Chains A and B, each alone.
Chain A
């Protein structure tokens, strides 16, 4: 077992809202774990909570939050600041706004190395150039002197990932890193991420709502709905045989050439993710579920299949009422 990040029973709340209601998540070395779900299902705050970058008003608790085997739930702000950008790094959705417009690319990258590694300026510059080259940025020495607004979106995303990888982190959290990129750049970026991950043995927690991305890069996938992981498993297993009605609905809403007859309708899930407050019981998906029954208001059982595949639904693996 080579777990870089282990989360057990993570809960996050904002005022009366329960944003995350007890999720378990393990990311292993060299593995890409995708967290999938609609907007507002709690996937981004879950990721932010790992770096402890939640807004101050957030309620946060976890039975276990371990990074490289060490418990970091009780670590103070100072200890967390040492880990951030060094052992764990994060890249954000918007390459257009994720770099500080007031500084050159070089000063932003060098800053990270000097803070965490105490590197000399010359050594830091060499390392930055090498890293930019590695992520496929042309003329890296020149880029160091440029400002973010002089770079294209794809280039900025490469700079971001180069910055994130400068200190060779064990864990990279990427919050919708491809959403703001156009499709060709997206494909290049995913290929780059996969290459680097293989070379560095990086653990990646990738947050996305794009099942196409999941299918391309994920080793394991967790489908999140209203603050819970409703289905988890190896990507192949989940895509081949989705068990939870929500996962099925998501997969049915992807257009697949040849599978959907011309003029036929794509699948869709009516409604939006509900806001869940304290005292909510039962399956959160029941209001939108095609196979919901009155008994879905009862606490949901979790079913475990082979290879860690698990899902939370009243209907068992055989599709029959599991009689909770």
Chain B
């Protein structure tokens, strides 16, 4: 059961990654090409659907499947780059605090507390409102706001690991401090950080969708899934598939990432406890 969940999660994430990487090759139509004579063509399983547009078209007659695939690329891009950014910030802070302790740790804890006191959505909205929307603005904003889990976990794990004998043994073998931190401590907390990375990636993707839904995320005509939901929301009672399709895509991707994260946590946790 556990294994199945991990495999399913990994399969979903891998599928999304393939869509993201090979989006230009996989899209059947130009996702930006408008065709006002074929607005709101329903997907093929509904009456009036056509095999030319499998998932139908949107209000401007753009192919929905193509936009969904390009949207996967944007979601994955945002998920991965925010996790890299917040991972670097959080891990650096956490490892420094956990390793040096004392005053350094107090400063790190203070920074983490400050960050926890900030309402993420509000600050993201304000930033995007002031700076203007754009893909990299969204990445930077979310990345600079989501590092606290990394910091907290890295700090706790570093404290735990640095008290172990193999760290003392590394010192006794003549390792430098840089080498002890990067070569001995970091590889041994990496599995904790990997799990945090999956959690944060799911959160970042949802956050981007929320921002885009509010019109402050990825600017049109880029097809973010959140933006697609937003653009379709006026028709949700008449043509529910317009928001169902990107909504389900979002649900599946986030679910897949979470399954992967849970599975990794169980697997890696079991291995280190051996």
Q: Is the CB of A81 within 8 A of B175?
A: yes
> Which residues in chain A, 72-99, are within 8 Å of chain B measured between CB atoms?
81-86, 89-94, 97-99
A112's contact among B168, B173, B184, B190, by CB below 8 Å, is which? B173
Given A92-B165, A101-B188: A149 and B174 interface contact (C-beta under 8 Å): no
Contact indicator B188/A89 (Cβ below 8 Å)? no
Q: Does B4 contact A (CB under 8 A)?
A: no
Q: Least Cβ distance of B163 to chain A in Å?
A: 10
Q: How far is the CA of A141 from the CA of B155 in the complex (A)?
A: 37
Chain B, range 251-274, C-beta contacts under 8 Å to A? 272, 274
- Chain A neighbourhood of B175, CB < 8 A: 81, 85, 115
Question: Chain B interface: which size bin?
Answer: 10 to 19
- The answer to whether A83 and B169 touch (CB under 8 A), given A100-B184, A101-B272, A103-B187, is no
Contact of B172 among A84, A99, A149 (CB under 8 A): A84
- Distance in angstroms between the alpha carbons of A119 and B94 in the assembled complex: 35
Measured in the bound complex, the distance between the Cα atoms of B184 and A100 in whole Å is 7
Q: Which of A102, A112, A163 has the most CB atoms of chain B within a 10 A radius of its CB? A: A102
Q: Mark B177-188, 1 if CB is under 8 A from A, else 0.
A: 000000010011
Question: Does B136 reach chain A (CB closer than 8 Å)?
Answer: no
| Chain B residues near A94 (CB-CB < 8 A) | 165
Q: Does A190 contact B (CB under 8 A)?
A: no
Q: How far is the CA of A264 from the CA of B172 in the complex (A)?
A: 45
Q: Which of B169, B188, B272 has the most CB of A within 10 A?
A: B169
Instruction: Name B188's contact: one of A84, A93, A100, A111 (CB within 8 Å).
Output: A100
Chain B residues numbered 197-251 whose CB sits less than 8 Å from any CB in chain A: none
From A88, which residue of chain B is reached at the shortest CB distance? Answer: B172
Residues of chain A lying within 8 A (CB to CB) of residue B170? 100
Interface size class of A (residues with CB under 8 A): 20 to 34
Contact A97 B165, beta carbon cutoff 8 Å: yes
Bound together, the chains give a CA A86 to CA B174 distance in angstroms of 7
Give A93-135 as 1s and 0s: 1 = Cβ < 8 Å from B's Cβ atoms.
1100111111100000001100110000000000000000000
Given contacts A103-B187, A149-B274, contact A98 B166 (CB under 8 A): yes
Asked whether A84 and B274 contact (CB < 8 A) given A92-B165, A93-B165, A98-B166, the answer is no
Q: Are B169 and A98 in contact (CB under 8 A)?
A: yes
Collect the chain B residues with CB atoms within 8 Å of residue A230's CB.
none
**Is A260's beta carbon under 8 Å from chain B?**
no
User: What CA separation (Å) do A92 and B274 show in the bound complex?
Assistant: 21
Residue of A nearest to B179 (CB): A115
Chain A residues, Cβ within 8 Å of B171: 51, 53, 84
Q: Is the CB of B187 within 8 A of A102?
A: yes
How far in angstroms is the closest Cβ of chain B from A171?
11
Q: How far is the CA of A198 from the CA of B187 in the complex (A)?
A: 38
Question: Which of B164, B172, B272, B274 contacts A51, CB < 8 Å?
Answer: B172
* 19 pairs of residues in contact across A and B, judged by CB atoms under 8 Å: A51-B171, A53-B172, A81-B175, A81-B176, A84-B171, A84-B172, A85-B173, A89-B172, A92-B172, A97-B166, A98-B169, A99-B169, A100-B170, A100-B184, A101-B166, A101-B188, A103-B187, A115-B175, A160-B169
Chain A residues with CB under 8 Å of chain B are 51, 53, 81-86, 89-94, 97-103, 111-112, 115-116, 149, 160, 163
Residues in chain B within 8 A of chain A (CB atoms)? 164-166, 168-176, 184, 187-188, 190, 272, 274
Q: Which 7 A-B pairs have the closest CB atoms?
A: A85-B173, A85-B174, A102-B187, A90-B172, A84-B174, A98-B165, A97-B165
Q: A84-B172, A84-B173, A97-B166 given. 19 additional CB < 8 A pairs?
A: A53-B168, A81-B175, A82-B174, A83-B174, A84-B171, A85-B172, A85-B174, A89-B172, A90-B172, A92-B165, A93-B165, A99-B166, A100-B166, A100-B184, A101-B188, A102-B184, A103-B187, A112-B173, A115-B173
